[in-house]
Amino acid sequence: MEKAPVLFLGHGSPMNIILKNEYTASLMQLGESLPKPKAILVVSAHWLTKGTFITANKHPEIIYDFYGFPQELYDVRYPCSGATAQIKEAASIFENASIVYDHQRGLDHAAWAVLKHMYPNADIPVMEMSLDYRKNPQEHYELAQKLAPLREHGILIIGSGNMVHNLRLVDWDMDAKPFEWAVNFDNILKQCLIERNHQALIEYEKMGKEALLSIPTNEHYLPLLYAAALQGQDENLTFTYEGFQNASMSMRCLSIGM
C-alpha cells in the first residue's frame, strides 16, 4: 500500500460549497492530482469534545452546521460511506491514541464542504475526528504523531480549519482586502512551515499581538498542527493554495508527501 499524503485545508465560509472560484478550483485540482486514498480521516475544527472521538457509522449523515445561508447550501448532499472497515483494520492505532468511536455523529462542513470539490462522486469512505478542548497545542501535536501509521494503511489525513480565522473582525464581502496583521501572520506561519519550525507553531501565542488577532480561539488553527506533526523527515511540503477571504480568514492549503 502506497503511503498516503497529508493535507491541511483552509475551508472558510460555507458559501465555498457552491461557489466556483480560484480556491474551489484548487481543491478540484488537488483531488485529481492525489493518488486515490483507501479512506479519508478529517480532523475537524467544528467538533470539540471532552476526549477524542472518530465517527464510526456506516452511513454518516451530513450536518449542516451553519445558519442563515442560501437554501441552495442545504440542498447539497454528500452521500459517502463511513470508513468502518478501515477503522477495524487500524483499530490498534486508534486504541494507542486513546481515540473513542462515535457511532451516531455525522460529518460537519469542515469535512464535506472540501470533499465535495475534491471527490465529487463521494466514492471514498470518510471518518471525522474531533478536537479534545482540554488538550493544549503540544498535546494535540503529540496525538497527531500517533496517527502516522494510518498513512501506511492508505488513509488520507486532512486537517480542516483556517490558519488565520477571526470571525469577530470578518468582512462579509468575501473579496475584501485582507487586514495587514492577517497577511503578516499568515506569512510568519508560512515561513515556520517552510523551515519545519514546528515548535514555533505549537507556541504560537508567543508571537505577539498579530497571533492573538489571527487566532482569538484556536479550534480552526489546531488542525494545522495535526498536518505538521505528520510530516516525515524527508517529506516536502507544498502550498496548494494561498489567499484570503472575508479580510480575516487565510485560505492557505498545503500538502505533505505528494
Grid cell in block for residue 72: 441552495
Query: Virtual CA dihedral for 105, 109, 110, 113, nearest 10 degrees?
Result: 130
Confidence at residue 1, expressed as pLDDT on a 0 to 100 scale: 66
Please tell me the pTM assigned to this model.
Answer: 0.97
Q: Summarize pLDDT for 63-109 with one digit per residue, the tens.
A: 999 999 999 999 999 999 999 999 999 999 999 999 999 999 999 99
Confidence at residue 211, expressed as pLDDT on a 0 to 100 scale: 97
Residues listed for the chain? 258
3-state secondary structure (DSSP) of residue 155? strand
Residue 45 has pLDDT above 70, yes or no: yes
- Residue ranges per domain, the chain? 6-256
Q: Summarize pLDDT for 192-223 with one digit per residue, the tens.
A: 999 999 999 999 999 999 999 999 999 999 99
> Is 134 exposed, middle or buried, given 0-12, 13-18 or 19+ CB atoms closer than 10 A?
exposed
Q: Summarize pLDDT for 22-32 with one digit per residue, the tens.
A: 999 999 999 99
d(CA 142, CA 91): 19
Q: Summarize pLDDT for 130-151 with one digit per residue, the tens.
A: 999 999 999 999 999 999 999 9
Q: Could you tell me which CATH number the domain at 6-256 has?
A: 3.40.830.10
